[in-house]
RNA sequence: AGCCCGAUAGUAUAAGGGUAGUACGACAGAUUUUGGUUCUGUUUGUGGAGGUUCGAAUCCUUCUCGGGCUACCA
């Protein structure tokens, strides 16, 4: 240990070294010598659905924490409810965790511990701390009382140890029907904490389990499986979301009575994101009512959806890092997630040209010889340390977007207008001479002239233009389908519109324009790159970041818009209107 | 209603008795062959009231507001 590092290094370590409250607790534990200074965590999903961005926060937290302190993280499936769980979900969860960039130390299942957990239950019975209750679920609910009134003891609360043991074994043996009996922990029916009013710890379910098959007909409840699994795995820090806070006294009660490894449960606030919903029930509703096209719809906050939207694992890890960890409820601005993916893609993708328009304008360069073609060198990404170039064909006719031309432009419109000049990106400066209209009076073509000495890279024209627009050569253009995704909901916090947790119609909350499908013309190099699998993420110059979608066919590529570019012009226009 | 948890710029997140900082956003300017990027600058905050203290975002009291708990789900 060297003393007194110089000031600058102290500052540096402080600057990046803010600890969140969990890291502080962990460091206190390490300093106190708990668990031999080790840090073991686990990510414990129930395999009953798809992972979403909130799970990503938890994954990054658990794996990140163990990694930071030289520990390990297990992937543990919390599969104690056979009727809701399925192997299909196990596979998708593993896939998502790996895709995020994490590798677990062990793959475990709560169902691996059923025999041990059963043993814990018998131990509790033998200590007189658990009893078999024949009451119906309604009766048990009535016994619980309310938060303001204490509960009443069950008539079966004082059964003898022997009777309880016998009954519990017969429960296991399958002698009773579902719901006929439960095993309850004998804690405190008058506790102000409802979780402690003799919670049910085992129930009878004659159901097929995705892993244990028909071996069991009794299954432990969450409260008698999660902490026990943590203990078995010697998880030092068991991180979960705030709603489990009231379970912690029970978690610790079991540790004490059972004398098992004392994992420490720490709760943090779950992630909420603007313009989306996070609850499994609501996500399911979106899928089932057909508001989206499945769990991996690019508008969904599922990891599968976000992946298909074109987000990268690194951008999600960065996002998880930036949102922080705390105990207060939060609603994170979707814009932060967008910032994270732009930040990465800006550095890594090639900027290519795509004309996104159902009805692009054809631009005819009247003084460019018919049949002439040039291959222009255009830089792939101005951010590259050493710039690379690709060849882009140019010809007498090019497509441009309708938005890049205005017949009567407002002030500070830098794009094309009658008599105006712009640069075609990577090519020439052109001047708009004439408009061509169809019978309906719509503009179909622009006749322009180009300045031959203004060619990019060897411009001797001395002309400066304000605007540069993108284009695609008509004879070389490849047609593509482009899916323009936007926020799923039009209100910031759709969950707030659902105060009672009632299932209600999403109709007035959904963004009607969350998906717009347009035809596009893209430069040929892009299709080659995508087909070869070299790159799937691109910047469509001036438009946004796009990713090749699995729906693509060899003849017709499909691109999803991941996120738009920031658009100062559009922002200013919106402000005016 | 009882118990528990929480409250720091618009949104998040630091500061654990000693100058309220950072990021995103917003605004302004510079650069720019992407109205992008980059750079520079500006802006905005400790929920209220008391108390302890030389000194309080931090400790205490109280109020207010927000969240959680009354599943044989997790």
pLDDT tens digits for A241-251?
999 999 999 99
The two structure tokens encoding residue A458: 């060897």
The two structure tokens encoding residue A134: 């024949």
Nearest nucleotide to A459 (CA to C1') is B33
**Would the pLDDT of A558 be above 50?**
yes
Residue A450 CB burial class (10 angstroms; 0-12, 13-18, ≥19): buried
Q: Is A70 left (phi over 0), alpha (psi -120 to 50) or beta?
A: left
Q: Report how far residue A312's alpha carbon sits from residue A308's, in angstroms, rounded to the nearest whole number.
A: 9
Tokens 């890092």 sit on residue: A321
How much of chain A exceeds pLDDT 70, in percent? 96
Q: Report how far residue A544's alpha carbon sits from residue A538's, in angstroms, rounded to the nearest whole number.
A: 8
**Residues 371-430 of A, Cβ under 7 A from nucleic strand B:** 381-383, 412-415, 423, 425-426
Mean pLDDT of A318-335: 97
CB A248 within 7 Å, strand B: no
Q: Report how far residue A469's alpha carbon sits from residue A353's, in angstroms, rounded to the nearest whole number.
A: 10
Backbone angles phi, psi at A151, to 5 degrees: -85, 170
**Would the pLDDT of A16 be above 80?**
no
Cα–Cα nearest to A251, from A279, A217, A221, A273: A221
Tell me the residue length of chain A: 577
The two structure tokens encoding residue A314: 């690194």
**Residues 429-468 of A, Cβ under 7 A from nucleic strand B:** 454-457, 459, 467-468
Task: Please count the other Cβ atoms lying within 10 Å of the Cβ belonging to residue A313.
Answer: 18
DSSP strand pairing (A478-485 vs A472-473): unpaired
CB A156 within 7 Å, strand B: no
The two structure tokens encoding residue A72: 């390990």
CA–C1' distance A331–B46 (Å)? 20
The two structure tokens encoding residue A249: 């006294």
Cα–Cα nearest to A227, from A260, A202, A189: A260
CA–C1' distance A413–B37 (Å)? 21
**Would the pLDDT of A100 be above 80?**
yes
In a 13 Å sphere around the CA of A192, the CA atoms on its Cβ side amount to 0
The two structure tokens encoding residue A569: 């012009």
pLDDT for A18 equals 86
Mean pLDDT of A340-347: 98
User: For residue A520, how far is the Cα from the chain centroid?
Assistant: 28
Q: How does residue A536 score in pLDDT terms, banded at 50, 70 and 90?
A: very high
Q: Taking each helix axis from N to C terminus, what angle separates A248-258 and A114-126, rounded to the nearest 10 degrees?
A: 80
CA–C1' distance A370–B16 (Å)? 76
Q: Report how far residue A24's alpha carbon sits from residue A382's, in angstroms, rounded to the nearest whole number.
A: 42
DSSP, residue by residue, A266-280: EEEPPP-BTTS---H
Give the closest residue to B13 (Cα–C1′): A324
| A11: Cβ contacts below 8 Å, ≥ 6 apart | none
**Would the pLDDT of A9 be above 80?**
no
Residues A265-295 have pLDDT tens digits of 999 999 999 999 999 999 999 999 999 999 9
pLDDT for A10 equals 30
Q: How does residue A4 score in pLDDT terms, banded at 50, 70 and 90?
A: very low
**Residues 534-563 of A, Cβ under 7 A from nucleic strand B:** 539, 541-542
ipTM: 0.96
What's the CA angle centered on A81, arms A234 and A22, to 5 degrees? 40
pLDDT for A527 equals 85
The two structure tokens encoding residue A75: 């992937």
Q: How far is CA A233 from CA A39, A69, A113, A202, A209, in A?
A: 12, 18, 10, 21, 22
- Cα dihedral A127/A128/A130/A133 (nearest 10): 150
In a 13 Å sphere around the CA of A467, the CA atoms on its Cβ side amount to 19
Q: Report how far residue A527's alpha carbon sits from residue A390's, in angstroms, rounded to the nearest whole number.
A: 13
Mean pLDDT of A183-195: 96
Q: Are A184 and A198 in contact (CB under 8 A)?
A: yes
Mean pLDDT of A496-514: 74
Mean pLDDT of A360-365: 98
Nearest nucleotide to A248 (CA to C1') is B4
Catalytic residues of A: 46, 270, 280
pLDDT for A504 equals 59
DSSP, residue by residue, A192-214: SSGGGSS-EEEEE----BTTTBT
Backbone angles phi, psi at A398, to 5 degrees: -135, 155
Q: Which domains does chain A have, with CATH numbers?
A: 38-273 (3.40.50.620), 280-350+480-576 (1.10.1160.10), 361-400+402-466 (2.40.240.10)
How much of chain A exceeds pLDDT 90, in percent? 91
- Per DSSP (E only), the strands in A141-258 are 182-185, 200-204, 218-220, 237-241
| A429: Cβ contacts below 8 Å, ≥ 6 apart | A421, A422, A423, A450, A451, A454, A459, A461, A463, A465
Residue A554 CB burial class (10 angstroms; 0-12, 13-18, ≥19): exposed
Q: How does residue A506 score in pLDDT terms, banded at 50, 70 and 90?
A: confident
**Would the pLDDT of A555 be above 90?**
no
pLDDT for A12 equals 30
Q: How does residue A498 score in pLDDT terms, banded at 50, 70 and 90?
A: low
CB A330 within 7 Å, strand B: yes
In a 13 Å sphere around the CA of A305, the CA atoms on its Cβ side amount to 24
**Would the pLDDT of A520 be above 70?**
yes
pLDDT for A575 equals 82
Q: How far is CA A176 from CA A170, A182, A204, in A?
A: 8, 10, 8
Mean pLDDT computed over every residue of chain A? 94
């Amino acid at each position: 240990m060297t003393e007194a590092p110089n000031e600058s290094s102290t500052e540096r370590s402080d600057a990046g070294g803010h600890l969140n409250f969990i890291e502080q607790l962990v460091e206190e534990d390490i300093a106190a010598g708990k668990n031999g200074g080790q840090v073991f965590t686990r990510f414990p999903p129930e395999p009953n659905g798809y992972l979403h961005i909130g799970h990503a926060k938890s994954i990054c937290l658990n794996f990140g924490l163990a990694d930071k302190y030289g520990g390990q993280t297990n992937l543990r499936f919390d599969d104690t409810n056979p009727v809701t769980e399925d192997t299909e979900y196990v596979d998708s969860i593993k896939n998502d965790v790996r895709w995020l960039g994490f590798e677990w130390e062990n793959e475990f299942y709560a169902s691996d511990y059923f025999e041990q957990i059963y043993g814990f239950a018998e131990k509790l019975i033998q200590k007189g701390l658990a009893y078999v209750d024949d009451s119906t679920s309604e009766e048990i609910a009535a016994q619980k009382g309310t938060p303001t009134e204490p509960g009443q003891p069950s008539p079966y609360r004082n059964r003898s140890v022997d009777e309880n043991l016998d009954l519990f074994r017969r429960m296991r043996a399958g002698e009773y029907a579902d719901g006929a009996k439960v095993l309850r922990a004998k804690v405190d029916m008058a506790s102000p904490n409802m979780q402690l009013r003799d919670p049910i710890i085992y129930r009878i379910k004659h159901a097929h389990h995705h892993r244990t098959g028909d071996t069991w007909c009794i299954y432990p409840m969450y409260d008698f499986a999660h902490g026990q699994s943590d203990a078995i795995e010697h998880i030092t820090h068991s991180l979960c979301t705030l709603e489990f806070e009231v379970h912690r006294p029970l978690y610790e009660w079991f540790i004490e009575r059972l004398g098992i490894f004392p994992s420490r449960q720490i709760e943090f606030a779950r992630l909420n994101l603007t313009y989306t919903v996070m609850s499994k029930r609501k996500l399911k509703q979106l899928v089932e009512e057909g508001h989206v096209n499945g769990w991996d719809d690019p508008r969904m906050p599922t990891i599968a959806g976000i992946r298909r939207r074109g987000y990268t694992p690194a951008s999600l890890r960065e996002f998880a890092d930036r949102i922080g960890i705390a105990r207060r409820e939060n609603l994170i601005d979707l814009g932060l997630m967008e910032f994270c993916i732009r930040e990465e893609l800006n550095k890594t993708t090639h900027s290519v040209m795509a004309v996104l328009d159902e009805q692009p304008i054809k631009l005819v360069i009247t003084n460019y010889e018919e049949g002439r073609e040039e291959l222009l060198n255009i830089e792939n990404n101005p951010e590259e340390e050493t710039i690379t170039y690709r060849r882009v064909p140019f010809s007498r006719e090019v497509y441009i977007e309708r938005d890049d031309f205005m017949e009567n432009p407002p002030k500070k419109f830098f794009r094309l207008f009658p008599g105006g000049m712009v640069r075609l990106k990577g090519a020439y400066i052109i001047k708009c001479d004439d408009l061509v209209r169809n019978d309906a009076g719509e503009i179909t073509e622009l006749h322009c002239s180009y300045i031959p000495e203004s060619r990019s890279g060897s411009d001797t024209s001395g002309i400066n233009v304000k605007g540069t627009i993108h284009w695609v050569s008509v004879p070389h253009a490849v047609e593509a389908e482009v899916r323009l995704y936007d926020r799923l909901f039009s209100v910031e916090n759709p969950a707030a519109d659902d105060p009672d947790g009632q299932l209600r119609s999403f109709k007035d909350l959904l963004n009607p324009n969350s998906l717009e499908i347009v035809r596009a013309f893209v430069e040929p190099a892009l299709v080659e790159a995508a087909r070869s699998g070299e790159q799937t993420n691109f910047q469509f110059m001036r438009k946004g970041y796009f990713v090749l979608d699995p729906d693509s066919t060899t003849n017709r590529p499909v691109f999803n818009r991941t996120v738009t570019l920031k658009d100062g012009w559009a922002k200013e226009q919106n402000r005016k209107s």
